[in-house]
Each structure stands twice: as C-alpha cells, then as structure tokens.
A and B are shown apart, each in its own frame.
Chain A
Amino acid sequence: MAKITFITFDGTEHAVDADNGISVMNAAIDNLVPGIDADCGGECSCATCHVVVDEAWMEVVGQPGEREESMLDLNPEREPTSRLSCQIPVRDELDGLVVKVPEFQM
C-alpha cells in the first residue's frame, strides 16, 4: 500500500491510497484524479498518463525504461523527472510519493 499525492495543475492536492501492484496511473484514474487521459489503457503506447515526479522521489521511483523513454521523448514538454505513470507499479516504498500532473496531456 502507498499513499500517493497528485498535484494537479491548479495546485490542488489529491491524496489517494493505492494498492500494491496496480500502476500509479490506475491509482489516479480509479480515484478520479483529473488530468490523466490514459488513452491506451496503460500499455506505454500513448503517453497521455504523463506525470512529473517530485525530484526527491526520483531515486526511489527510478528512471524510465527504454520503450517508455521513446514515448516520453516525443513530448516537447517532458521534464528530467517525467515518467509515464502507467509504468510505475505501486509498492510500499512509494508511500508518500508526490507527483505533478501536467496541464495538458499530448
């Protein structure tokens, strides 16, 4: 289990409790956090679940995989700590994770 905080573009903080094994994307969608489209349903093929991980958390969350990186690369607004949330599985170590949801999904 992990408590994950999504900060949407307007500054609102949405704190959700997520079960281990689902993705951070699912945690957002299941809890009606706005700003994540997830068009491909979580298969790393649309890049519309883009989040920016809080820098302090990047070491625990980890870097994008190769396929994820090639999708992120297509977004002119990606940042150094960008991740596709469908590729981050929830686990205990992520308890307290903070991510920003971008204003737009491409």
Chain B
Amino acid sequence: MAEATAGSQDRLAAARDAAYSIPLDQLNPAQGELFEADVAYPYFERLRAEAPVHFCAESEFGAYWSVTRYDDIKHVDMNHEIFSSEGGITVNDDDEEFPLPMFIAMDPPKHDEQRKVVSPVVGPRNLAALEPIIRERVCTILDSLPVGETFNWVDRVSIELTTQMLATLFDFPWEDRRKLTRWSDVATADENSGIVESEEARRAELLECLEYFSRLWEERANKEPGNDLISMLAHGSATQNMAPQEYLGNLILLIVGGNDTTRNSLSGGLLALNQFPEQFAKLRANPELIPNMVSEIIRWQTPLAHMRRRVLVDTELGGQKIRAGDKVVMWYVSGNRDPEIFDNPDDFVIDRENARKHIAFGFGIHRCMGNRVAEMQIRIAWEEILKRFSSLEVVGEPVRIKSPFVKGYAELPVIVRR
C-alpha cells in the first residue's frame, strides 16, 4: 500500500465537507473519533484560516479555546507566567479525586526544582553511554522480525523498542517491562478510549503501579545513588520526601513521556515513507539524511496532538479576549502543519530545511526533556533498518488511537523483505 486507500480518501473528503459546513462556533476538534479516523486536519485548516484563536463553548471536556497557528502556539508555550500548567496539561481535566501531581503540570518554582532533579538522566553523557545499548537492542529486535509475512509493526518494533528503552532508564525489572506499556496506556486513557472499563478500574491499576514502584524506591533509597530515574528521585533533595501521589505522578510523566510518543513516531515514520515512496527512495540513496528525517518524522506525526494551559490573568491573543480561568489548548498537530511556516506542510519531505523548527516538543520551560532520547532511538532504528531490509511495506490500513491527545497507532500491518 503506497498511498492512502480509496476508503480513507472518501473519509477525508467527507470530513472536509463537515469541517467547512459546521457553524464555526460549533467546531470542536477535541474529539478522539476525528483522530481515530485520521480526519482531523481539515478542521484545523479551517480554524487556522477563519478563527485562529477559537472558543468552543461545549464539549465533553467543557469549554476551551483552540490555538492553531504555529506563532500563536509558540506565544502561549513561552509565556508560562500567563498560561499556567497547573491542573493538568491535556484538554481533559485532572481527576480531582485521584490527583497525580507531576512537574509537567506545575509552574515555577516547583516545576524547575523537580525537573532539574531528573533531567541529568537524559543529559549528554548518559545518552552517549546509552547509544550502544540502544543499538544492540534495535539489532536484536529487527533480527527477530518475521520476513515475508505480515506482522504488527507497532507491537513487534515500536512498543518493544521504546519499552526496553524506558526499562533501562528506570533500571526496571526486565521481565516485567510490558507493565510500563500498560501503565502508560492506562494513564492517558480517557473514558472513550476503551482501554479501561471504568474510572475505578483505572485508579486501581495506577495504584498497582504505585505499589510496584514504591518497592523499587525502597530498594534504591537504601543503596548508593545510581544513574537511573528511580534512584535520582529517591536521592534528589527536591524529590526524596515527596508524597506517594506525587511520586506516582512524576513516574507516570516519565513513563508516558518516554513511551507512546517515541512509539508512535517509530510507527509514523514507516507509514510516512510508505505514503511518500519517492522519499523512501531518496532515503535509501542518501542515508546521511536520517538525522533530518527524524525531525521531519516527529513533525509529520506530532505524537502528542496538543498541550493545554489555564490562563491566570485576562489576556488577549489573536484579537480575542481570553479570561482568567479559561482553558487554552495549543494544537501542536496544527502548528506543525501551518503553511505559513512549513511549505506543503502535509507532505513528508525528509530533507525539509526547517524540519527542526517543529513544535512537537514544545517551546519554553516545559520543552520535552526527552527529546534527544527520542531522536536517538528513531535515528538508530532507521540506521539499522536500512542495513537489513530492502523493503518495508505497510500492507493494510493502520488502526489509530482514539484520542485527541495521543496521536498514534495500535496496529500497522507490515511485511519486510531482506
């Protein structure tokens, strides 16, 4: 399957009609179904053109503003004194009865204090040390893939690789590493995603996660400080006394941050190369383009479709007055397809000159801490893929995640050949 199928093109055409015929004030892009069917783009196209700062009065998440142009998104991201991260960073409000305090959803000074404790784990020295380990794992995973028969790339490659990476960063018991995947999926599930049966079930699983990690905390706290995330949290002065809920929250942050984002970029990159076969040919002829391609993959996929803020003081943006207390959603997925910044933004172009300017990692003090880890995994994966397989073909429709936040894939049927 080289291009989008006829079925998906029909869906896109229907969505485009819907997006342009709905009254503007009823447009609600925060719907998991749109992303599941991969038809969200026309909605953002219209918003960028007609209402770049747009108020949606009613949705399953309440009232919220959508910011869809790259420059406006950047403005919100950078002005953290006005646009606060407390109370949650997705369009879904945090569960007040089961709060998971995490530094991504905090403002300075607490945000800075906690982030600084863990950021060394993804510092340059650590990454240089991790590179050969990642490469070894990538090779093992790729060498164990079935050749000439269909398999689910998401499960065999994307999930496997990123979960192994995360288990290493945590020094997590290897044989239990798929628990990290499960907890990540549970943490980001909303009521509609079909991952947990109920809110109670979700909380119960997250409490199991906390129990497991509490045991690990005890072990590491009683040992010499090590280079893994748990040890850093257990020994860091800003974090060693934190409440169990806060520990769980920060763990979830690091698990989610390191998990489905890179996972979905690993899947998305393969899909993109299949949808744009001349780019695949260009890649094979010019493997030195891999690093730039990594940035373009992340731009094209935008694994987290949005981030949200709450306004602390009345402010103005794009000619709109936004009131203190209002929810503002930065649609990274839209900013990364903004034609004012990216020529032919829907095209996947591996040597795109300004690929690194993408906003998928965010800008400002909350900019993704794991960005180099992600880039490194994707780069190494493609270096090793090109050495091994003469073809990697997506042979069926992908199954996408039903979420306005996590933009990714549950299934990508692939056949590889040597």
Contacts and interface: CB of A to CB of B under 8 A. Distances in A.
A pairs with B = yes
A85 to B, nearest CB: 16
Given A39-B357, A71-B364, A74-B367, 4 more contacts: A40-B74, A45-B367, A46-B363, A74-B119
Contact of A74 (B78, B116, B363): B116
Contacts, number: 51
Interface residues of B, number: 22
A65 B127 CA distance: 29
Interface in B64-120: 74, 77-78, 108, 112, 115-116, 119-120
Interface of A: 37, 39-41, 43-47, 70-71, 73-77, 102-104, 106
Given A40-B74, A103-B124, A70 B112 contact: yes
B356 interface: yes
B182 interface: no
A47 B371 CA distance: 12
A43 B123 contact: no
B78 A43 contact: yes
Contacts of B356: 37, 39
A42 to B, nearest CB: 11
B372 interface: yes
Interface of B: 74, 77-78, 108, 112, 115-116, 119-120, 123-124, 127, 356-357, 361, 363-365, 367, 369, 371-372
B365 A76 contact: no
A6 to B, nearest CB: 18
16 contacts: A37-B356, A39-B356, A39-B361, A40-B363, A46-B367, A70-B108, A70-B365, A73-B112, A74-B115, A74-B116, A74-B367, A76-B116, A76-B119, A76-B123, A102-B124, A106-B123
